Structure 1
C-alpha cells in the first residue's frame, strides 16, 4: 500500500501530533489562533491524512507513523480455493432463477427462501 493516509490512528498518534504542535507554537512558528485551530483538528483526527495535513507547512518535528501491521499483505489462494470461489459466485448468481423455478414447480412462496439458503451455503463453500 503506497498511500496509507486512510489508515485509522489512535490516541498515541494524536498525542504525538499535539506535542509537535506545542513545540512549533513555542518556537513561534504558530500564533495562538493557528495553534488552537490545529490542536482541535489534531484532537478530532481519525485517519493519518488528517494529521499529516496539519504539518505540510512546518519543519520537523512531525508525527511519525509505524507501518500498518499486515497492510497490503494478501493471503495466497490455492487453485482449488479459487475454483470453490468461482462455484460459490455462480451459485449465488443463479439462486434467484433456481428459486423461481422451484416456485413454479411447487406453487409455494417458500421456494424463495432458497435464495438466502444458497447464499449461506455458497459462503460456507467459499471459506
Structure 2
C-alpha cells in the first residue's frame, strides 16, 4: 500500500485531532506546554503526516484518518443542503444582530435592546442544531 501521509487533510480531521489531544491533556499525559505546542501544530497541519506525528508517543484516542479515496471519486457523503442553509441563516442573523440592536435602541430609547445581540446568537445556534 502506498504511503498516504502526503494527503491533505480538512477541518474535520484537525478538529478530531484537537479533541484527542484535549483528552490526553485531561488524562495527564500531556503537560500544559506540550499540549499547547501540539495544539498549535494540529491547527497548522496540512497533510496527514503532520497529524500522525503528534500521536506517535500517545495511546488511543487518536484521530481516525480514513483511507485516501480513489482518484475520480467524489466525497464519501455529500453535504446536507438543509444544514448549510440553516448555518447561513444563523450566520446572517448573528452578523445583523448589532444593527438590529442599535435600531431597537433608537426606537425604544432603552439600553436593554442591546440584550438582543446574545439572544439572537442563542436563537441562531438553536437553528443550527
Aligned-residue offset at 1:53: 0.1
Q: Find the aligned partners of 2:55 and 2:67 in 1 and give their Cα distance.
A: 19
For residue 63 of structure 1, what is the aligned residue in structure 2?
A: 63
Match of 2:2 in 1: 2
Superposed CA deviations along residues 30-53 of structure 1, whole A, max 9, x for unmatched, are 000000000000000000000000
Q: Deviations over 1:5-52 (max 9, x none)?
A: 000000000000000000000000000000000000000000000000
2:43 counterpart residue number: 43
Write the mapping of 1:76-115 to structure 2, written as runs, cut at 5 A: none
Aligned residues: 72
Runs (4+) of structure 1 moved beyond 6 Å?
none
Secondary structure, counterpart of 2:7 in structure 1: coil
Task: Give the Cα–Cα distance (whole angstroms) in 2 for the partners of residues 23 and 67 of structure 1.
Answer: 24
Gaps of 5+ in 2: 74-129
Shift of 1:68: 1.2
The 3-state SS of whatever aligns with 1:42 is helix
1:2 Cα deviation from its structure 2 partner: 2.1
Larger-Rg structure: 1
- Report what 1:33 is aligned to: 33
How far, CA to CA, are the matches of 1:70 and 1:19 in structure 2? Answer: 28
Alignment RMSD (CA, Å): 1.4
